[in-house]
Every structure is written in structure tokens, then in C-alpha cells.
Structure 1
Amino acid sequence: MKKVLIITYYWPPAGGPGVQRWLKFVKYLPDFGVHPVVYVPKNPTYPLQDSNLISDIDSNRITVLKQKIFEPYAMASFFSKKETKKISSGIIAPERKQTFAQKALLWIRGNFFIPDARVFWVKPSVAYLSNYIKEQQIETVITTGPPHSLHLIGLQLKKQMPAIKWIADFRDPWTTIGYYKDLKLSASSHQKHKKLEQQVLNKADQIVVTSAVTKAEFAVLTPKPIAVITNGYDTEPIPPQELDIKFSLAHIGSFLSKRNPRIFWKAITEILKEDATFKEHFELKLIGAVSQEIIDTIDEFKLTKFTRNLGYISHQDAVVEQRKSQVLLLIEIDSDETKCIIPGKLFEYMVSYRPILAIGPEDTDVEQIIKETNTGVYTTYDEKHRIKETIKSYYALFLANKLHVYPEGLARYSRKNLTKKLTELL
């Protein structure tokens, strides 16, 4: 059986979206004649944890290697544990609302740790893995980021052993990722990021990305082959769920400050004023980490009494909640940088067989996927009337007990089919 070395930072008990992609690839690779050797940190700092995901790891079918990592987040937490955890999980407040601690930590993070705070793992990992690759006669190495420091491990291994095949997987882009501009980079730090990005893109044998928009972006920077393998959904051992009695609109996942959809809050507020029965049935359900600005805005629009905030729960419990919800909300930041982002939860939303209401920028891959699969409605930030009418339409169907969706062509996004696509690159 062919062995493939996979270098990833996120691995159970890590929670959140970062762990799902390669946990599921690894789960199905043995079905296609590939034995995954997964290299992960022994003592990582995970802002979110979900021990239930460990059940997806079959130790008889994979090999897991662990080596210690030094992370500055551990020291920074003495300075401000709360702010450090927020930043490491991607929750960054708007600059006008940032505390001194937040500003200081962002500046240090952006200018002292390039490309990210896991950069100290590169050198010891290269020393350990170079010997392991020779001993085990491994021919293919895969790195996945963010954190993009892991691509630097691949870069150094490729320099030492040009014969290995190196695949660089980008779950998110590098210098155009949404939070990049928030890192308070100096001109020289920005140039260092760009240089490292260029080196990785041009030294890897194969680039893998999660969206067509990212492929087009990277194609300008490198002549190397670029494959699009999206995230997807897996079969979940969860029985059918009774739908919420309330007309629940559920947002699942991190609800970041920049995703604050004031146009949505306005639409909901207007419907509440116009329809007395809507007040009796409406519920906003929040599942996952929610920024304080979102909570404050909900209060500003007097929607707090309609809101049920469950906080961060296990992945399995989140799937249960989304399958119980009447409508699923997908909110993306309104910017050009986020057009390439296809949230992993989109695919789980689609297989939940509940209608999706998505709000984001124009001309995105998300919009195309929702249309192709007939799983909901995609709107932009300047379409308040359409958002309002979509909610009213869904509500009318809810009252008539006819709120259903009829998806098409979901099989192409199953984790097993996506893994088969990956093996074609190996």
C-alpha cells in the first residue's frame, strides 16, 4: 500500500472547521490503497476542542506521528489570555473597537511571527521528517494550511529531497485571506509574506485549493498545476430529527465581527413590526463562537429576546441542531477577499435538507453551488428587499407545514468521492 505523509496542524481533539478536511481525507484514503502517515503537533494550542472527533480515527488504518511544538500563544496568554484565545481562533474586533492588548498582540503576531505563530515548528519538523521519509521510503508529502508555516516544512523538505512529490493544500488563501489586512504588517513584513507565498507556490509539484476563485488567483502567481477539491459532507450516524417548533433561523459556526449583516437585522425587525404572528414563532439560533459586536448589534435591533445562543458545542451536536432548524443562515464578509471562501458548513447545510439563506458578496463560488444544488437562496448585501421576501416566503411555507428543499447533485461533494479525486493526484 502506498504511503503518503500528511503534515497538518489541526487534528483531534481540535474542534472547528480547520480539522474536518484532512480528518475526512485520512478516513477514506485507505479505501483507495493509500496508507496515510499523519504528522501533527504533540502539544498544540487549540482554541476550540471537540473530543468526539477522535472516533473518526482508525488507528489500524493510519499512522500518526507527534512531535512537540513551541507556540508563542502560550506565553502571550499570560499577557491577555482572553484576547489571545480570540485572535488564535480568528475573532478580531474592528480596529475602532480594539483594546490596547488586541492591537499589541496583532502587531506582534503579524510582524514577529512570519507567516504565523507556528513558524518555530518548521526547523525541528524538517529534521525529524527528513530521516523518517528516507527510512520509510515515502514518495509523496502533503502540507495543508493555514497555518501556512506548515508549507515551509514542505518547502524545506523539497529542497533537501528534490525527488519527493510535494502537494501544497490551501484550505484558505495566504496573503488575500480576510484577516491578513488586520495584522498591522509593516512594508517589510508584507514583502516577506509575499516572497514565502511565491516560493511555496512555485516549488510545490501540485497545488490544491478549495475554490475556483482561489485557483484563478494562484494561477497568476505560478505555472504549477492547480486542482480544485472543495470541502464536503460526510455520512453522520444521526437519526432523523424533529424540526424545531419555532420558526428557527440558525447560524452555525464562528460569527465574526466583519460578518455582521445589518441588512439582515433590519429585514427581521421590519417583519416583526409588520406581522404580529411572526413574533410568536420567530427564533434566532446561534451555534458556535459569536463575537461581542454581533451580540451588541442583536441587542441594538431589540432581537435579544428572540435569540437562543448555544455557544460552541461538539460537531455532532451542531449537526443535530442544524437538522432540527427550519432555515440555515450562511453569512460571509462583504469583500472581494471572501469571494473565494466556501465555508465547510455549506456542504453540511446542503445535506441537512433544510433551506439555506445565504448573504455574501457578488459572484462567489458559494452562490454557484447553492444554485446548482437547489438548496436555497443566495443574496447580496444590497438586497434587503429580497432577503425580507425570502424570509417571509419561508415563513409562509413553515405555517403551511411545507418548508422543504429538494437538493440535486449532492453526491459529488461527499467526502469519499472527494477523497477519490485526491487520490488521482497521488
Structure 2
Amino acid sequence: MKKVLIVTYYWAPAGGPGVQRWLKFVKYLRDFGIEPIIYTPKNPTYPMVDAHIADDLPQDLTLLRTKIWEPYGLASFFSKEKTKKISAGIIPTKKFSWVDKCLLWVRGNLFIPDARVLWVRPSVKYLSDYVTTQGIDTIITTAPPHSIHLIGLHLKEKYPTLRWIADFRDPWTNIGYHSQLRLTERSAQKHLALERKVLQSADTIIVTSPSTQREFTAKTSKPIVLITNGYDDDTFGEEVPLSPYFMLSHVGSLLSERNPETLWQVLGAMAAESPAFRQDLRICLAGKVSEEVFVTIEKYGLSSSLEYKGYLSHTDALALQRSSQLLLLLEINHPKTEGIIPGKLFEYMAAQRPILALGYSQWDVREIIAQTHTGITLLVTDAPAIKQALTHYYTLYKANQLHTQPTSLGAYHRKALTQKLSEVILERGKG
């Protein structure tokens, strides 16, 4: 077995999509001759936890943990709830209080690239001893938080022969919320400089979307490999009956800027026009949801149709997907979201329920959904097209014919994706 050190902030028992990618890679890496060694914080601040998220992992994994100090504890002195939301990426777009502004300014300008940066130096010290004594010749850093890549950068500078693979689950300076951090010009330039240094120093870069691959190709000559997220066998689980209602479900965080007001407006109008549609309609939201979303749903008279589940375990979220009539994939209408392919997309596809994806016109999601015949992708502000799609799906629902016939899903199975990763890990002499 080839030993590989994986440096990640998110690990079990963290809940949410950020942890799924590497939990699943680690689940299968041994099948391809690779022994994963995990390095992660001992006392992290996770916005959500899932006690069963690692149930299918090998029990004898080597797991290294060291303490981390994060500033969110001090910030919560001013507002515990606001701090928790900002640490989870929920940034309000309306009613900015002075506390919001202060927390965002501190987050963006005093902790670069992010609030986990204070873990970098002690991690480099600890891992320097480990890689030399254990004969580790390959490390992988996965981000966000992007400070994790600084650990790889400093280890690479210290040991030039160490092979470093940088995995970007999301972009860095081009990520949607980056422009909301109230950065000074100096801070913005520092982010760009750090991003450039990471991209030019890593031996190989892994990205999750074609758009990010194109973006980074313009910034570095290093090899850039596309490995999307995917679905696993647990996606199928036990058989779950379909909801008897026309249930539209969204699983995952629904942030303020991602609030699909046009969708709520269209649904509200359809419910007002047809008592039967209103009686059949259910809107199910699972995960962290911005207060602005609830306000907008109420604004369009849909509160009686809303079912809010809160945070669900991964197992329960998968069951909800399979029981829904229609699955919602929602994104901001902005060029910076072009390369954001949510991990839940692949679980949605495997659930074999139609997907209504609403986002940016050039969203990378469009091609994947079209190729797999798993739904439709529309501009999130295109009210006529959204109404036409909903009317079509509702008609099929009433005729008991609402289903999908996915094709080419196998390429997105977690084991197939791990095989692709293993080929990157075992490749030598490039980059």
C-alpha cells in the first residue's frame, strides 16, 4: 500500500456536503493500493454534525488530530447566532446590522484566507516530523477552508521532493461569497497572491467543475485534473414510498443570495389560480435556511405548503430525496456560480427523481443533467420557463408518470471517481 497523507478540516462527525467527498474517497482508496492517513483538527467548529456519517469507513484508519484555535468563540460574545451563520457561510444580503458588518470585516481582513489560518503553523510543525519519520512522499490538501492549502504550501517549500496534490472543492477568489467579505484592497490582493502561489507550487491540482478547470488553467501551467463529486451505494438505501403530494424538495443550505424568489412567485401564482394545485403542493426544505427565504415564501402565500425539516442526517436526507416528486437544485444567477456543482446533484440523479435546476444561464450543471437525462436546467429568473416546467411536471404527477430514466450514471459512482483519483496519486514525474 502506498501511504498518502490527506489534510482536511472537515471530517467525521462533521455533517453537510463539505465532508462527503473525502469520506467517500477514503472509503475506496485501499481498493486501489493506497493507504490513506487523515490529518484533521481535534476540536473543530462544525456548523452541523452527523453521528453516523462515517459508519461505512474502515475502522482501522490512521487518524491524526491536533488542536486548533478558531476565533469564532470570541466573536460569539457579540452574537452567537450571527457568528454561527457566518461560519457556515450564511451571509445576509438585507438588513445588515453593525454586528454583521464588523464580523464580516474581521473575518475577511484579519484572518486571511480564512478563520482557520491559525492552524497552519502548528500543523506544519507537527506534520514535518510525521512525513519524515513515516516516509510519506505524497500529501493531499482539500479546501475550503483554503488555509488548508497553506499547510501543503509550507510543507512543499520545506521538502521540495514531497509531492503535493491540492484539491479545490470550490474556487478561491472566484467563489460567490468572496466579494461579500468587505475586503480592503490590500486584503483582496493578499488573497490573490496566496491563491497564485498555491496554484503555482502544487504538483497537481484537482477541481470539481469544468469552469474551475478553465479558470485555473489561465492561472497556472500545473496539471489540473477534473474529478467531480458523486454518489455512493448508500444513496439507494431501503425502498422509500413516494410522497402522495406534489412535493418539491431542496436538501442542503439555502442561503440568502440563493433565495429563488421567482420560483416562489410562480408557485404562489399557480396555487392562487388552482385550488387543486394548492392542495397538492408541498415545499420541503431540509438544512440551514436563511430567514429571508421563509419571509419570501410567506410573501407569496405559500406558508401553508411549507415543510421545514431542519438539518437531517445524511441517511435521512437520502430518503427524503427518494420520496420527493421533484428535486430542487438552486443557485445564484451570477457568472461566479458557473462552476459550482453541488455534491447533492449526483445523489439527486441517483435518487431517480426529476431535477429542476435553477441558476446561472451557463451553469456547468446544465450539461451533466442533460447528458444523464435527469431533469431540466433553467435560468433562475425566467418565470415563464419555470412555470412551463412546473406545469409539465405537475401534469405528469397527476397522471402517475413523473419519473426519470437516467443514463451514464456509472461514471459518477464514488468508486469510479476514486479510481480516477488513485491514478492521479500514483502518477509520477509530471508537474
Judge same fold: TM > 0.5, yes or no.
yes
Instruction: State how far apart, in whole Å, the 1-side matches of 2:265 and 2:125 are.
Output: 56
Which residue of the partner structure matches residue 73 of structure 2?
74
Give the Å deviation of 1:90: 0.7
The C-alpha deviation readout for 1:208-229, integer Å capped at 9, x for no partner, is 0000100100111101010000
Query: What whole-Å deviation, never above 9, does each CA across 1:380-419 have from its counterpart, x for those lacking one?
Result: 0342111111111111111111111000000000000000
| Whole-angstrom CA distance in 1 between matches of 2:380 and 2:347 | 24
**Which residue among 198, 201, 205 is the counterpart of 2:199?**
201
User: Counterpart in 1 of 2:375?
Assistant: 376
Q: Is contact 2:208–2:226 with CA below 8 Å preserved after alignment?
A: yes
Matched residues in 1 for 2:331 and 2:363: separation? 10
> Distance between the aligned counterparts of 2:380 and 2:245, measured in 1?
26
**2:58 corresponds to which residue?**
58
Deviation track 1:31-61 (CA, whole Å, cap 9, x = no partner) reads 101000000000000011111113133122x
Find the counterpart in structure 2 of residue 121 from structure 1.
Answer: 119
Q: 2:209: which partner in 1?
A: 211
Q: Are the equivalent residues in 2 in contact too, given 1:23–1:56 (CA < 8 A)?
A: no
- Name the structure 1 match of 2:357: 358
CA distance in structure 1 between the aligned counterparts of 2:207 and 2:338, rounded to whole angstroms: 14
* Pairwise CA distance, 1:271: 1.3
Contact 1:126–1:156 under 8 Å retained in 2 = yes
**1:41 equivalenced with 2:38 (yes/no):** no
Q: Provide the C-alpha distance between the structure 2 equivalents of 1:368 and 1:275, rounded to a whole number of angstroms.
A: 34
Q: Distance in 1 between matches of 2:386 and 2:40?
A: 43
Offset, 1:78: 1.9
Amino acid at match of 2:15: G
Contact map agreement 1:6 1:143 (CA 8 A) in 2: yes
The residue type equivalent to 2:412 in the other structure is Y
Shift of 1:274: 2.3
Indicate conservation of the 8 Å contact 1:176/1:337, yes or no.
yes
CA distance in 2 between partners of 1:177 and 1:3 (Å): 32
Per the alignment, residue 171 of structure 2 pairs with 173
- Aligned partners of 2:401, 2:53: CA distance in 1, in Å? 34
What are the Cα deviations for residues 69-100 of structure 1, in whole angstroms up to 9, with x where unaligned? 11111221122110110001111000x41222
Name the SS for the 2:403 alignment partner.
Answer: coil
Q: Do the aligned residues in 1 keep the contact of 2:230 with 2:417 (CA within 8 Å)?
A: yes
Q: State the match for 1:224 in structure 2.
A: 222
Q: Which string of whole-angstrom CA distances, capped at 9 and with x for unpartnered residues, describes residues 187-212 of structure 1?
A: 00011101100000000000000001
Retained in 2: the 8 A contact 1:379–1:386?
A: yes
Post-superposition offset of 1:362: 1.1
Aligned amino acid, residue 121 of structure 1: W
Tell me, what secondary structure is at the counterpart of 2:222?
coil
2:332–2:380 contact (8 Å) kept in structure 1 = no
The range that moved more, 47-56 or 222-231, is: 47-56
Match of 2:269 in 1: 270
Single out whichever of 51-60 and 102-111 deviates more from structure 2. 51-60
RMSD: 0.9
The structure 1 segments of at least 4 consecutive aligned residues displaced by more than 3 Å after TM superposition are: none
Are 1:415 and 2:409 matched, yes or no?
no
SS in structure 2 of the partner of residue 179 of structure 1: helix
Secondary structure at the residue paired with 2:84? Answer: helix
In structure 2, stretches of 5+ residues that fail to align are 426-431
Mapped to 1, the partners of 2:381 and 2:327 lie a distance apart of 20
Which aligned pairs between 1:13-412 and structure 2 lie closer than 5 A? Answer: 13-60=13-60, 62-94=61-93, 96-236=94-234, 238-412=237-411
- Whether the aligned pair in 1 keeps the contact of 2:329 and 2:345 (CA below 8 Å) is yes
SS of 1:176's partner is coil
Q: Contact between 1:250 and 1:284, CA under 8 Å: does it hold in 2?
A: yes
In the alignment, structure 1 segments of 5+ residues that lack a partner are none
Question: Counterpart of 1:264 in structure 2: which amino acid?
Answer: L
Q: Which residue of 1 aligns with 2:428?
A: none
Deviation at 1:140, TM superposition (A): 0.5
Aligned pairs, how many? 424
Alignment partners' CA distance in 2, 1:101 and 1:382: 31
Q: Following TM superposition, by how much is the alpha carbon of 1:368 offset from its aligned partner in structure 2, in angstroms?
A: 0.5
Asked if the contact 1:11/1:19 (under 8 Å) is kept, the reply is yes
Distance 2:344 2:356 in 1: 13
Question: Residue 424 of structure 1 aligns to a residue in which SS?
Answer: helix
Residue identity (%): 53
Mapped partners of 1:377, 1:388: distance in 2: 13
Q: Secondary structure at the match of 2:262?
A: helix
Judge conservation of contact 2:349–2:406 (CA < 8 Å) in 1.
yes
CA distance in 2, matches of 1:93, 1:244: 33
Distance in 2 between residues matched to 1:157 and 1:285, nearest whole Å: 45
Of 333-342 and 381-390, more deviation after overlay is shown by 381-390
Q: TM-score, normalized by length of structure 1?
A: 0.98
CA distance in 2, matches of 1:117, 1:266: 37
What SS is found at the alignment partner of 2:142? Answer: strand
TM score, norm. by length of structure 2 = 0.97
